Structure 1
Amino acid sequence: MSAVRGTSLSPRAVARGAANSSALGVAARCGLAARGVLYVLIGLIALRIAFGEGGGQADRGGALAELSTQPMGSVLLWAVGLGLVGMALWRLSEAVFGAAGAGGRKPGKRLMSAARCVFYAFVAYSVLAFAAGESGSGSGSGDRQSKDVTARALELPGGQWIVGLVGAGIVVAGVWMAGRAALRKYRKHLELATMSRWERRFTDVTGVGGGVARGAVFAAVGVFVTRAALTYEPDEAKGLDDALRSFAETPAGPGLLVLVAAGMALFGLFSFASARWRRV
């Protein structure tokens, strides 16, 4: 009887076990797969733009509009939205109980997981609202929304400083994302021992190429937000679609947009690989 008492679990341990349950693991993997769907579609739309074939908006709204035109589009939209709910719940569990792996309970990592939880909860809401047919939800222009939010922020006391700091923060985040991808930091989250050589190679190609492209796009968005603060012009701010299109306006021309767009699609494939092999 004493042995049984000695192995009894505390309420915190029980809660932690629940957080690590197979159900939450499935939710996390569904969330990663849902993220992959969005990034693949954004990348494909951006590729069509680069090759002069139109293609709509290369952002979340454009991806949802594209998904809705597919066979069983409504079902797919609901599946992506619910998958992103799973992603938000997974990040919430990391914020509360700590992430898997060494150092997962550090305050900095918990805070980052909390921020990701809020972000994915917002994205999940917008996707589910669009799936439910709510007008103006999910498929709205990200570029217009960026300009509107920037305009309201600039009207606040110290608005230029607020917008400038946010822009600089996005630039730093983009560089950080690209740097971690280039250094293959994602590997520490993967079950490498269970992967074949081809699977590891596939994950490295998609993880490095996709992560660097994603970081570059985030950094570009941050540059435009910072420019809006410096010039006090909200229209200088750009969302994902305009930021992607801006790569074609560089001296490298549309070829650079092709590379970045392909990278965004690669990040979607990397998300699928993470859904399969990431430790959650």
Structure 2
Amino acid sequence: MARRAARGDAVRAGARAGFVARGVLYLLVGVLAARIGLTGANEQADRGGALAEVAATPFGAVLLWALGAGLAGMALWRLTEAVYGAAGPDGDKPAKRAHSAFRFVFYAFVSFLVLSFAAGARSSGAGSSDQQSQDVTGRLLGLPGGQWWVGAAAVGILVTGLVIAGRAALRKYHKHLTWARLSKNQRRLMDVTGITGGVSRGVVFAAVGFFALKAAIQFDPAEAKGVDDAIRSFATAPAGQWLLVAVAIGLALFGVFSFGMARWRKF
């Protein structure tokens, strides 16, 4: 009965709601990052900034609760995958289950932060990701062998970012979609948003990992950067303003891709 429930309509609905919530957050982060690149606005291009934008709308409180609930639905779906295996022929493999378990922990944590923010604990969801990264890095560096722990985590994040970008470029997401049922225009939409969005998302993850690795090597937590500062760092590259805007557009497109996943993902 538990296995049937895990494959049931309620869990699938929760997963779809989670993709929508993820899409909203990435779309808002992309818009905030684009404003920074085009106008130099002093805004937070990360989850905290996105939540602050939602809270400022007329129905902000309701939307925040909806986002938190959607992310909780995503966490529940990933938990069922970890326990019972994911859809597909290789869904029962230990590596797949472990990956789903990691995603469950991640989405459960983010959902908790968003719901706490909705309940009035404004510092829980909207704190600067840059300050949070430096605080965590500083605590880890203070532990025995902390420099190695930070370095290992940094390499993991950097490699994860490169894998995300590579899988997006290779269109690995096709196998998760009801591709044969999509029209030509729907396929084009998913490829444009999936490749551009996935590569941009991966590049941002890799940048966060790079700065964490720099913090480990220099034994300086101030070198660690969250999503906001990692995105801003692209402005220091050649043609930096336009590179930052390009990454911002990619993140917004990943939000649109998430909406498509909510509609056409296989479960």
Give the TM-score of the pair, scaled to structure 1.
0.94
Conserved in 2, the CA contact under 8 Å of 1:46 and 1:55?
no
The yes-or-no answer on 1:229 pairing with 2:216 is yes
Match of 1:69 among 56, 61, 84: 56
Mapped pair 1:46 → 2:33: yes
User: 1:212 matched to which residue of 2?
Assistant: 199
Aligned-pair CA distance for 1:194: 1.8
**Out of 93, 109, 119, which is 1:132 matched to?**
119
> Does 1:266 pair with 2:253?
yes
Runs of 4+ residues deviating >6 angstroms: none
Q: Pick the aligned partner of 2:188 from 176, 201, 206.
A: 201
Could you say which residue in structure 2 is the equivalent of 1:163?
150
Cα deviation for residue 252 of structure 1 reads 2.6
In 2, are the aligned partners of 1:59 and 1:240 still within 8 Å (CA)?
yes
> What is the aligned partner in structure 1 of residue 241 from structure 2?
254
Instruction: Give yes or no for the alignment of 1:107 onto 2:94.
Output: yes
The one-letter amino acid of 1:221's match is V
RMSD: 0.8
CA contact (8 A) 1:50 1:248 kept: yes
Amino acid across the alignment from 1:90 = W
Q: Distance in 2 between matches of 1:89 and 1:83?
A: 10
What is the CA deviation profile of residues 220-274 of structure 1, one whole-angstrom value per residue up to 9, with x for unaligned ones?
0000000000000000000000000000111231110011000000100000000
Structure-1 residue corresponding to 2:5: 18
Distance in 2 between residues matched to 1:222 and 1:102, nearest whole Å: 32
Alignment-derived partner of residue 121 in structure 1: 108
| Deviation of the 1:74 alpha carbon | 0.5
Query: Equivalents in 2 of 1:99, 1:207: separation in Å?
Result: 21
Q: Deviations over 1:127-161 (max 9, x none)?
A: 00000001411001110000000000000000000
- Residue 95 of structure 1: CA displacement? 0.2
Structure 1 residue runs without a partner (length 5+): 1-13
State how far apart, in whole Å, the 2-side matches of 1:241 and 1:106 are.
Answer: 35
How many Å separate the matches in 1 of 2:86 and 2:129? 31
Report the Cα offset of residue 53 of structure 1: 4.6
Instruction: Return the offset for 1:56.
Output: 1.3
Q: CA deviation at 1:206?
A: 0.3
Identify unmatched segments of 5+ residues in structure 2.
none
Q: Which amino acid aligns with 1:106?
A: K
For residues 135 and 192 of structure 1, the distance between their equivalents in structure 2, rounded to whole angstroms, comes to: 41
1:23-55 C-alpha deviation (Å, 9 max, x unpaired)? 110000000000000000000000000002515
Encode CA deviations 1:148-202: one digit per residue, 9 max, x unaligned.
0000000000000000010011010000000000000000000112211100100
CA distance in structure 2 between the partners assigned to 1:237 and 1:244 by the alignment: 13
Number of matched residues?
267
Question: What letter is aligned with 2:96?
Answer: K
The whole-number CA distance in structure 2 between the counterparts of 1:57 and 1:27 is 28
Taking every aligned residue pair, what percent have the same amino acid on both sides? 61
Whether the 8 Å contact between 1:48 and 1:55 is mirrored in structure 2 is no
Alignment partner of 1:59 out of 19, 30, 46: 46
Query: What is the alpha-carbon distance in structure 1 between the residues aligned to residue 29 and residue 85 of structure 2?
Result: 31
| Structure whose CA Rg is larger | 1
C-alpha change, 1:199 and 1:55, in structure 2 (3 Å) is farther
Quote the residue 1:7 is aligned against: none
Matched residue, 2:228? 241
1:151 aligns with 2:135: no
Report the alpha carbon displacement of residue 60 of structure 1 after superposing the two structures with TM: 0.2
